[in-house]
Amino acid sequence: MNWLARTAAAAIAALVAILLVDYAVATRRVPRDDRLIKDLQQQTKVDAAFAPKLAAEQNRVTVVRLDRKRRDKVVAWALIVAAAVFIASSKRLMGRTAVPPAPIRDVPRAPGDRKRAIAAIQPQAPPPLDLGFVDAAVARLGRGKESAIPLLQAIQAHYRYLPDEALRRVCELTEITPAEISGTSSFYSRFRRSPAGEHVVRVCHGTACHVSGARQITDELRRYLAIPDGADTDLERRFTLDEVACLGCCSLAPVLIVDSHTAGKLTPATACEALQAFERQMGATPASMKIRRGLVPEGTGITVHDEGAGSLWAVRLGTVEPVPDALEASRLSRLMRGAVEIRVGLASCGVASGAEPVRDVLEREARQAGALGLVKKVGCNGMCHREPIVEVVEADGRTALYGNVTTEAARLIARRHIRPRHFHTRVRWGIESLRAPALETPPDRNGSPYLSKQRRIVLENCGEIDPLDTGAYAARGGYEALALCLAGGASRRLSPERVIAAISDSGLRGRGGAGFPTGRKWALGRAQPGTVKYVICNGDEGDPGAFMDRLVLESDPHRVLEGLAIAAYAIGAAEGYLYIRAEYPVAVRHVREAIRQAEQHGFLGAGILGSDFSLRLEVREGAGAFVCGEETALILSLEGKRGMPKLRPPYPVERGFRGRPTVINNVETLACVPWIIRHGAEAFAACGTETSKGTKVFSLAGKINRGGLIEVPMGITIREMVEDIGGGIKNGRRFKAVQLGGPSGGCIPERLADTPIDYEALARTGAIMGSGGLVVMDDRDCMVEIARFFLKFTQSESCGKCTFCRIGTKRMLEILERLCGGTGRRDDLQKLEELADYVSRASLCGLGQTAPNPVLTTLRYFRDEYEAHLDGRCPAGRCPALIRYRITDNCIGCTLCAQACPAGAITDRPYEKHEVDDKLCTRCDMCRQACQDDAVEVV
Binding site for another protein (CB under 8 A): 164, 167-168, 177-183, 185-187, 193, 625, 642, 644, 646-647, 649, 795-804, 806-808, 810-811, 814, 831, 834-835, 838, 840-844, 849
Task: Say if CB 931 and CB 915 are below 8 A apart.
Answer: no
Sheet with 708-713: strands ordered across: 708-713, 695-702, 773-778, 735-740, 746-749
| Residue placing its CB nearer to another protein in the complex, 108 or 640 | 640
Closest CA to 565 of 492, 635, 467, 485: 485
- Minimum gap (Å) between residue 519 Cβ and another protein: 23
Determine if the peptide bond prior to 52 is cis (ω within 30°): no
| Residue placing its CB nearer to another protein in the complex, 299 or 808 | 808
- Minimum gap (Å) between residue 669 Cβ and another protein: 24
Distance between the two ends of the chain, CA-based, in angstroms? 24
- Minimum gap (Å) between residue 270 Cβ and another protein: 33
Task: Say if CB 535 and CB 641 are below 8 A apart.
Answer: no
Closest CA to 344 of 375, 384, 385, 313: 375
| Residue placing its CB nearer to another protein in the complex, 815 or 924 | 815
- Minimum gap (Å) between residue 830 Cβ and another protein: 12
- Minimum gap (Å) between residue 855 Cβ and another protein: 15
| Residue placing its CB nearer to another protein in the complex, 676 or 844 | 844
CA 51-54-59 angle, to 5 degrees, is 130
Distance CA 739, CA 86 (A): 52
- Minimum gap (Å) between residue 649 Cβ and another protein: 6
- Minimum gap (Å) between residue 147 Cβ and another protein: 18
- Residue 651, judged by CB atoms within 10 A of its CB (0-12, 13-18, 19+), counts as middle
- Minimum gap (Å) between residue 823 Cβ and another protein: 13
Closest CA to 604 of 561, 633, 553, 543: 561
CA 386-388-389 angle, to 5 degrees, is 75
- Minimum gap (Å) between residue 189 Cβ and another protein: 8
| Residue placing its CB nearer to another protein in the complex, 615 or 623 | 623
Encode 637-649 in three state secondary structure. HHCCCCCCCCCCC
Distance CA 642, CA 543 (A): 20
| Residue placing its CB nearer to another protein in the complex, 114 or 168 | 168
CA distances from 735 to 609, 699, 856 (A): 52, 17, 20
Q: Is 741 left (phi over 0), alpha (psi -120 to 50) or beta?
A: left
| Residue placing its CB nearer to another protein in the complex, 408 or 814 | 814
| Residue placing its CB nearer to another protein in the complex, 375 or 851 | 851
- Minimum gap (Å) between residue 831 Cβ and another protein: 8
| Residue placing its CB nearer to another protein in the complex, 461 or 809 | 809
CA distances from 217 to 204, 210, 212, 223, 901 (A): 10, 10, 10, 10, 12
| Residue placing its CB nearer to another protein in the complex, 398 or 841 | 841
Determine if the peptide bond prior to 650 is cis (ω within 30°): yes
**887, β-bridge pairs:** 936
| Residue placing its CB nearer to another protein in the complex, 258 or 835 | 835
| Residue placing its CB nearer to another protein in the complex, 479 or 793 | 793
| Residue placing its CB nearer to another protein in the complex, 567 or 799 | 799
- Minimum gap (Å) between residue 201 Cβ and another protein: 23
Helix (H, G, I), strand (E, B) or coil at 338: coil
CA distances from 139 to 163, 640, 915 (A): 19, 17, 65
Distance CA 809, CA 796 (A): 9
* DSSP H or E segment with residue 339: strand 339-345
- Minimum gap (Å) between residue 837 Cβ and another protein: 9
Distance CA 405, CA 402 (A): 6
- Minimum gap (Å) between residue 788 Cβ and another protein: 15
Task: Say if CB 294 and CB 244 are below 8 A apart.
Answer: no
| Residue placing its CB nearer to another protein in the complex, 30 or 842 | 842
- Minimum gap (Å) between residue 186 Cβ and another protein: 4
Helix (H, G, I), strand (E, B) or coil at 28: helix
| Residue placing its CB nearer to another protein in the complex, 633 or 737 | 633
Task: Say if CB 802 and CB 757 are below 8 A apart.
Answer: no
Helix 557-571 crosses helix 548-555 at what angle (to 10 degrees)? 100
CA distances from 697 to 51, 508, 902 (A): 108, 13, 38
- Minimum gap (Å) between residue 230 Cβ and another protein: 13
- Minimum gap (Å) between residue 802 Cβ and another protein: 6
- Minimum gap (Å) between residue 824 Cβ and another protein: 14
H-only helix segments in 90-236 = 111-119, 132-141, 148-159, 164-173, 178-187, 207-211, 214-225
| Residue placing its CB nearer to another protein in the complex, 797 or 865 | 797
Taking the mean position of all CA atoms in its chain, how far away is CA 835? 33
| Residue placing its CB nearer to another protein in the complex, 126 or 294 | 126
Distance CA 684, CA 457 (A): 9
Task: Say if CB 160 and CB 199 are below 8 A apart.
Answer: no
How many Cβ atoms from other residues are within 10 Å of residue 145's Cβ?
16
Amino acid at residue number 766: G
Determine if the peptide bond prior to 649 is cis (ω within 30°): yes
- Minimum gap (Å) between residue 923 Cβ and another protein: 23
| Residue placing its CB nearer to another protein in the complex, 161 or 911 | 161
